Structure 1
Amino acid sequence: MSTPLRTSYPVPVEDLIPAGRRLAAELGEVPSQNRLMKHLRVGKDKAKAVHAALIEERAEDRSETHLHSVPDPDETTTETDGSAAVVDAAAEEFPQVTQPADLVPSRRAGWRGWFPRLARRGGISPASEATTDADAETGDEMRPLRSWPVLLLALPAFVAVWSGWVGLGELTGFGIVHPLPGIADGFTLNSAITLPIGVETYAAFALRVWLSGRVPVRARRFAKRSALSALALGALGQVAYHLLEAAGVTAAPWPITTVVACLPVAVLGMGAALAHLIHTRENGSH
């Protein structure tokens, strides 16, 4: 096994080529630039120059091998082990060009350990041996996070939002209605519940469509704007109700009543428009 060069002075590239040639003969192929840097103890530029010179020599040997005339049967075909290794390696398709580069320690290493280098023609070079980080990334680590805490967070928000919208609806004229007159006169319904169901449900639906990333661009843009608008409108509704309740107001001013009365119609329109955009294919214009 050849020993790496040890010198305290810069070594010219011409003096490094013989050592790189010996290393190539031992490996049976042209070593990679990273291997040359480690073996010759040189920088990236010199290792690149030596690597290019070795590839050029290998290409010349290959062309001479293909153009060589057929030897006479009487001539001996015995060759030294070193020459045979060079000829056999020259007949190959230079695997070192398509093979991924060796792993090198990253400057950002630390708890991450060794990072894979990108190959010259795409892909990521596999690690030569298992690391603690690779072992830690098992199937358990790759499972999606559970979303059940959202339900726990939504429970108190649901109580507060529901009571706020229902209270604001009663202050703006929403109340008990008979939805089935002549059919079920005893059946009553508080129309104030349409506010939290409509506004907050649409906000959650539009937010889901926006963040899913699986809808056309126009639908995603509309979902983003309408979701933020619905959330802002819901917050304003809660603020308005608590201010009116704290002031002891029994009937909301007409501007608030007008806006609240239009909410069911606006929610219906936005929901229908978003559903239409989701199922509409892009025609190339955004």
Structure 2
Amino acid sequence: MTTAKSGYPVPVAELLPQARHLVTQLGRMPSRNQLMTELRIGAPKAREILEHLADGQRVKAANPGGLHVVTDPAPAETEPAETHDDEPAEPERESAEAEQVTESEAVPAEESEPVGGAVSEPITVDADLAKLADEQPVKPVAVWPVMLLALPAFVAIWSGWVGLGQLTGFGIVHPLPGIADGFAINTAITLPIGVETYAAYALRVWLSGQVPAKARRFAKYSALGSLALGALGQIAFHLMKAAGMTEAPWLITAGVACLPVAVLGMGAGLAHLIRDTHREVQR
């Protein structure tokens, strides 16, 4: 169960139904970190929701069967039955009823069974609250080993895209003629920067779980498509390099020439979908 972030803080009263639904799913009291993750709230608001849930559990524990007192209706006045004895029968009946009432009142509340014969189990709310209070925020896993592992792949991918760009017509250009004639740039570097950087960012958006569902789906398919295009580009470059080719075939040249435009369109579309936090389509 996930909740989209909003520009305004959500009141606790609106979050309580979601928290109770989470309790039903888990079968127990959720932890503070679980509430923070599922409801996208901070630690103070998560503690306040836990207090409300604990109060509700105490009420259920005090009256587990939902019992209420039902008073017997007043007995209808009836005429005394005729008797041939000298002593009336009403005093004996009243004394018998008094003894029954005394015996029923003498039964302690702990020994009485709820309706239906079901025995309620004690709910250890205080123990759960103490456990939640002792929990500490989980320390995030370090990501620097991943960066170290990705460095060799980055060098190989960069060289492959630059070499493919040179085989397909990318090269040195002067982007500011008449303004800075000495300024030159090799357009082949736009391929690894555009395709691979977008793939890494779209992958992050897809796996974060902090964007609307529509943006998450778009990021998923565009990231997988970018990674597939990157793999095809590396394969094409190494095959042509091994064959000693100095120019790429026109089909490969046409496809590589369209990559910057495709990256621009996917990046702009993903940016608009990420900012659309007011609507979230659930499927």
Runs of 5+ consecutive residues of structure 1 not aligned to the other structure: 1-54, 68-78, 102-122
1:124-203 counterparts in 2 under 5 A?
Answer: 126=128, 139=136, 142-203=138-199
Q: CA deviation at 1:138?
A: 6.7
* Aligned counterpart, 1:271: 267
Amino acid aligned to 2:162: V
| 2:108 aligned residue (68, 86, 89) | 86
1:282 counterpart (267, 274, 279): 279
Distance 1:247 1:143 in 2: 51
Return the TM-score normalized by structure 2. Answer: 0.56
- The answer to whether the 8 Å contact 1:218/1:277 transfers is yes
Aligned-residue offset at 1:285: 7.8
Tell me if structure 1 keeps the 8 A contact 2:214–2:281.
Answer: no
> CA offsets, 1:4-52, max 9 Å, x none?
xxxxxxxxxxxxxxxxxxxxxxxxxxxxxxxxxxxxxxxxxxxxxxxxx
2:123 to 74, 90, 100: 100
Give the Cα separation in 1 of the matches to 2:238 and 2:151: 20
Name the counterpart of 2:217.
221
Quote how far apart the aligned CAs of 1:284 are.
Answer: 5.0
How far apart are the structure 2 equivalents of 1:158 and 1:245? Answer: 19
Deviation (angstroms), 1:99: 3.0
| Separation (CA, whole Å) in 2 of partners of 1:63 and 1:285 | 47
Q: Which residue of 2 aligns with 1:244?
A: 240
Counterparts of 1:257 and 1:124 in 2: how far apart (Å)?
69
| Aligned mates of 1:159, 1:145 — CA distance in 2 | 25
What is the Cα deviation at residue 282 of structure 1? 2.5
Letter in 2 for 1:267: V
1:262 aligns with 2:258: yes
Q: 1:166·1:192 contact (CA, 8 Å) conserved in 2?
A: yes
- Asked if 1 retains the 8 angstrom alpha-carbon contact of 2:171 and 2:187, the reply is yes
TM-score by length of structure 1 reads 0.55
* Change over 3 Å in CA distance of 1:227–1:124 after alignment to 2: farther
1:124–1:146 distance in 2 versus 1, CA, 3 Å: farther
Matched residues, percent identical? 60
Supply the AA of the counterpart residue of 2:170. F
Report the RMSD for the aligned CA atoms in angstroms: 4.3
C-alpha displacement of 1:230: 0.2
Tell me the CA shift for residue 213 of structure 1. Answer: 1.0
- How far residue 183 of structure 1 moved from its aligned partner, in angstroms, is 1.0
Q: Give the structure, 1 or 2, with the largest relative contact order (CA under 8 Å, sep 6 or more).
A: 2
1:179-207 per-residue CA deviation (whole Å, 9 max, x = no partner) reads 11111111110000000000001101111
Matched, 1:209 2:231: no
Amino acid in the other structure paired with 1:255: L
Change (3 A) 1:284 1:161: closer
Separation (CA, whole Å) in 2 of partners of 1:212 and 1:166: 31
CA distance in 2, matches of 1:250, 1:239: 16
Aligned residue type for 2:108? V
Cα offset for 1:218? 1.2
Helix, strand or coil for the counterpart of 1:194? helix
Q: Which amino acid aligns with 2:122?
A: Q
* Alpha-carbon distance in structure 2 between the residues aligned to 1:283 and 1:127: 34
For the 8 Å contact 2:162–2:189, the answer to whether it is kept is yes
- Aligned partners of 1:100 and 1:125 also within 8 Å: no
Distance 2:215 2:129 in 1: 43
Counterpart Cα distance in 1 of 2:190 and 2:249: 20
